[in-house]
Amino acid sequence: MKTTIFILALPVLMFAQPENEMKIRLLQYKRLQQSQELFSFLKSEQARDRELAMLALANIQDTSAVENAAQLLNDESPKVRSMAAFAIGMIGKPRGTSFLFRRLAVEREEKCAAALFNAIGMCGTADDLKKIISQSEDFRRRWKPFVAQAVIRFANRKIKDVAASKYMGMLLNDNACIIHATYALMRINDTTVITGNREKLQQQLSNASSLVRMWSAAALGAVNDEVSIGRLQDAAMKDGDWRVRVNAIRALRTKSNFRNDLIKLIADKNDHIALTALSSYDALTTNEVQFIDSLQFIAMLQSGGYGTALKEEVRTLIAKKLGERAIPLIGSWMSDRPSVSAQRVRSYGETRSEKAIPMIKEAIRQTKTSLVVIAGIESYQAIAQRSNESVKKDFLKIATLMFGRNDPGISYSSAVAFQDTSFSKDIRKIYLSALISTYQRMNAAADLEPMVELQNVFADLADSSAMPAVEQGMSESDNVIRSAAEKAYAAITGVDAPVRSAETTVGESPFYTMEDVLLLKKFNGAEIFTSKGKIRITFEKEAAPFTVLNFILLAQKKFYDGLSFHRVVSNFVIQGGDPLGNGSGGPNYAIRSEVHPDTKYKTGAVGMASSGKDTEGSQWFITHCPTPHLDFRYTVFGYTPDSKIVDRIMIGDAIEKIVLF
């Protein structure tokens, strides 16, 4: 959950740069639509002013600004022309492509041409995609990679065309374009085209580039011929890059004759390979695991030769497949690592057996660790969903008592539990008065997320007794709480909430000071000390200054110290920075998204997690590989060369401290 956006109170001098630059950056941050002040900078004599004004429009995404941006496609400065193209692409209005095509016909600067193709892919229609492909032979040969990049942008927006897919198949023969072609075919996922090019893709599984091999493997998952499956099996078992092996395993996850190989891969020394194989095995075996497989999994639990992450996932798999019989195999929930304890408690829940409830309740009672208690709430909830009314009532009683822990993460999970429609409204209303009292004791500075979720409970139950808490929520200064309370008001009364008057609407407060801003000059990066090693990141201050500043301020407050990586998706990202540990927490405010054409999601990109434009807070992620589908949607504020450490991070690994440099 994210919260309200603040406005900067910046001094005249920003980053020790010219006054105009400060003004433009502020206008970008304020998100003002149809800002005449910003438009005036498009006519500045300084190319830097015009370039930054275009960047501001790209971030604001003011739909009225397409024509303004189009005028600068003919600017004398290549940087301004490129940024104008980027702005039109980000604004996203199809009418902008006519300007882009017109400029493309006369553009000679290579970087500008790349920007034009990129922008067409970002905002064009299916007809524009067809137009690019139909004209592809007219473009300069060295522009073919730009055409491929445009097709990728279209594909990432789910705009596809048979001719474009076939064109990507042709580019498999072009060494300058092959990396784009394999990625595009993977994203387009046109079975007919991939089948027609399967021999070329099979050959690419031996390409020197691990990225080409990785994306070729993913694309070949769409076909079922014997040769392709055999080549994928070889890649899954033998490739020298774990990312290629992960993609090959995923491509084979629907192939039932791969089960024996999966058992071998589950024992792989690389955690990502082992965990992906385990997940694929889970998908292939929808019913109880075979007896011989069960024995092998039990042997893994008893062996000292496997990593903790794998063993805990094996416990979860056994719990899902064997149900109640798995309880003795899960073992004690107690561990010296909170993440391990939490995972074992979750395994109890996966059994869906009432016989696991005593262990879950013991874990909830005997630990003060948020992660474990949250796992207990969610596991008990999963069992109670399928149980009788008595068990349901007992679960909701415990969830109610958990608010007394005064922990935002625990309170959030408890509040969400009361929105579960597996429990009748009559049962949930038994505890409504306790929920109302709980809400009235909370404050937004510490409990924003659970307060929002409790308002959602009040809306769902639609009981008039909750009106005092709802009215309290409607008077909060935080926009997110107020919005949730207004929905609850409408659900209870049947009429819309009263319109907020200017007098009762709390304005956005200044946040950054001169002292804060000067930190951008002082720090160029950060060293993230984790339980697996040190990750050094270099900040992208030009592209995302306010995001960098936010990270610096949080790091200085030691906000991140002691938090864990709560999300790891193999060959995608590791993610941390959530104080709740469940992916829903933040610093109780939100910052603006910041995009820039020069910051893309390559391997080791450090980006901000969000739930939509301008909803970033404290959560950040680092990529395992290039992820072009994230480009210009999520802020990139840094890069790290320490991929070997990033690759070792697993869920539950700790962020010990962050040192700025």
Instruction: Give the number of domains in the chain.
Output: 3
CATH code, domain carrying 598: 2.40.100.10
- pLDDT score for 206: 97
Q: Does one domain contain both 468 and 527? A: no
Whether 590 is covered by a domain: the verdict is yes
- Kindly state whether residue 52 falls inside one of the protein's structural domains: yes
pLDDT at 17: 52
What tens digit of pLDDT does each residue of 425-469 get? 999 999 999 999 999 999 988 899 999 999 999 999 999 999 999
Tokens for 300?
A: 């893994």
470 and 583 co-located in one domain: no
Nearest to 622 by CA among 559, 576, 564: 576
Indicate the pTM of the whole model: 0.89
Quick one: 416 and 561 in the same domain?
no
Residues 75 and 203 occupy one common structural domain: yes
Q: In which band, very low, low, confident or very high, does the pLDDT at 513 lie, cut at 50, 70 and 90?
A: confident
- The three-class DSSP label of residue 171 is helix
**Amino acid type, 361:** K
User: For 249, left (φ over 0), alpha (ψ -120 to 50), or beta?
Assistant: alpha
Q: How far apart are CA 250 and CA 594, in angstroms?
A: 33
Neighbours of 5 (CB within 10 A): 18
| 143 and 181, same domain (yes or no) | yes
Q: What are phi and psi of 656, to 5 degrees?
A: -75, -45
Query: Domain for residue 396, yes or no?
Result: yes
CA–CA distance from 499 to each of 462, 474, 480 (Å)?
Answer: 20, 11, 15
- Please identify, among 231, 254, 275, the residue that sits at the C-terminal boundary of a domain: 231
* 3-class DSSP state of 371: helix
Q: How confident is the model at residue 503 (pLDDT cuts 50, 70, 90)?
A: very low
The predicted-structure confidence for 391-409, as pLDDT tens digits, reads as follows 999 999 999 999 999 999 9
pLDDT at 191 > cutoff 70: yes
Crossing angle for the helix pair 271-284 and 242-251, to the nearest 10 degrees: 0
Structure confidence at residue 541 as a pLDDT band (50, 70, 90): very high
Return the higher-pLDDT residue of 207 and 303. Answer: 207
Looking at every residue in the chain, the average pLDDT score rounds to 92
User: Which of 25-34, 493-502, 510-519 is modeled with the greatest confidence?
Assistant: 25-34
- 435, 460, 493 - which closes a domain: 493
Give a yes or no: residue 98 inside a domain: yes
- Structural domain including 300 reads 264-493
Longest dimension (CA), the chain: 77
The pLDDT of residue 588:
85
d(CA 284, CA 257): 10
pLDDT at 501: 59
Q: Is the pLDDT of residue 341 over 90?
A: yes
Are 487 and 521 found together in one domain?
no
Among the ranges 304-308, 338-342, 393-397, 495-499, which has the highest mean pLDDT value? 393-397
Asked whether residue 13 is domain-assigned, the answer is no
d(CA 602, CA 622): 10
> Is residue 586 one of the residues assigned to a domain?
yes
Examine the fold and report which residue of 187, 211, 231 is the final residue of a domain before the chain moves on. Answer: 231
Whether residue 456 lies inside any domain: the answer is yes
The CATH number assigned to the domain holding 107 equals 1.25.10.10
pLDDT given at position 237: 96
Please give the angle made by the CA atoms of 518, 524 and 526, to the nearest 5 degrees.
115
Instruction: Give the pLDDT of residue 581.
Output: 87
Which one, of 595, 467, 622, 435, lies nearest residue 530 by Cα?
A: 622
Contact (CB, 8 A) for 41 and 53: yes
Is residue 179 in a domain?
yes
* 185/44 same-domain check: yes
Quick: pLDDT tens for 59-75.
999 999 999 999 999 99
Would the pLDDT of 4 be above 60?
no
Share of the chain above pLDDT 70, in %: 95
* Residues 208 and 118 grouped into a single domain: yes
Report whether pLDDT(298) > 90: no
